[in-house]
Structure 1
Amino acid sequence: MMSSDGGDEDTDAARVREQDNDAARVQEWVEQVGTWFMQQSGWPPIMGRTLAWLMVSDPPEQNPAQIAAAVHASRASLTSALRLLTEARMIQAVTRSGDRSTYYRVAPDAWAAMLRRRLESIASFSDITDEGLGLFPQGARRAERLREAHRVFEWLNVEAEPLLKRWDAVRDTFTPDETPPDAGPAPGAPTADDNRRREGHGE
């Protein structure tokens, strides 16, 4: 018969193995985020890793030493990453009374704010395409490709704001571990029928 002490040791060993496995899976995910941002946004991998760690760290606020240990980064490269992420308004620095360290956490509403900036930046290209269309007579075949680009960015200009308003309407209506419920169109947002009429396909 196994002694009670032996059973406790086996339980402790199993718990340690489980914690190690969890840590390894988190580390793999952190690397995945770093790679995604490198491919999609041109960020150095350390920036994506740092942001990923701050999304799942416990506690949410981490000092540079904690972050460097978690993402296996030198303090020099981490300092640059923290500065760039702060300038991008993805993280923010906080201080604690009686603690000389600076701590970092994901900024409130960082993702919605990033999406808004990205959409506004992309949609603003419509000003440039509009200027380009002014260089040619209306309906000129030479500008056909330019008109197609302009239509896309004009469409994005119209659709982006209602999309963001819809998020604002649902963001506080779900609990942790739930996805946002469908709140329907935001107030003032064009309906599918409105879009079809605008495109000249309405009934």
Structure 2
Amino acid sequence: MLEWVERLAKYCADQDGVPLIAGRVLGWLMICDPPEQSAQQIATAIGASRASLSTNLRLLSSVGFVRVLTKPASRTVFYRVDDDAWEKVVQRQIASLAAVGKILHDGTPLAGSSPNHGGRIAAANEVFRWMQQIFDNAPPLPSTARAAKESQG
């Protein structure tokens, strides 16, 4: 299990610049049982200090991967990756890409007739138009498809 956790952590670090500890926390919370874990349980499982764990749990919470839970009559705080966490994060990334595409599109008039400026921004706009076509023709997200199926049933 820890080998898989490390693979995910390394991927997150290499591709997204996420600290290894944050990737390890994410990986652990994806596969642990029970799905809600205290900071102490996570620290023990992945071999992290409580200080670095606290910082990285805040990071993962701020981007929507980890949810903080409390239980009645308990002072312990628990952390969990919800089933739809990846979907929410991907939706935010898609919205972010669309926003960058709009900014690039809005910059087209600034390039004027210069082939140097115009060529670069035209190439960027072409990529973002292609991406928008992909998103426009994509099947619904899993939660949307599941909700539609449940409402029919």
CA distance in structure 2 between the partners assigned to 1:90 and 1:164 by the alignment: 23
| TM-score for both structures, normalised by structure 2 | 0.85
Query: In structure 2, what is the equivalent of residue 141 of structure 1?
Result: 115
Relative to structure 1, the CA distance from residue 154 to residue 128 in structure 2 (aligned partners, 3 Å threshold; closer, same or farther) is same
Counterpart for residue 110 of structure 1: 85
For residues 107 and 164 of structure 1, what CA distance do their matches in structure 2 show?
22
**2:15 equivalent to 1:40:** yes
- Consecutive unaligned residues of structure 1, counting only runs of 5 or more, are 1-25, 174-203
Choose between structure 1 and 2 for higher RCO, CA contacts under 8 A separated by at least 6 residues. 2
How far has the Cα of 1:54 moved from its partner?
A: 0.6
Tell me the SS of whatever aligns to 2:10: helix
Distance 2:136 2:75 in 1: 42
- TM-superposed CA distance for 1:92, in Å, is 0.5
Runs of 4+ in structure 1 over 3 Å off: 166-173
Greater share of residues in helix: 2
TM-score (normalised: structure 1): 0.66
SS in 2 for 1:165: coil
* Residue 84 (structure 1) aligned to one of 59, 76, 80: 59
RMSD across aligned positions (CA):
2.1
Mapped partners of 1:161, 1:109: distance in 2: 21
Contact 1:116/1:164 (8 A) holds in 2:
no
Q: Is 1:122 matched with 2:97?
A: yes
Flag the structure with larger Rg: 1
The alignment-based identity, stated in percent, is: 36
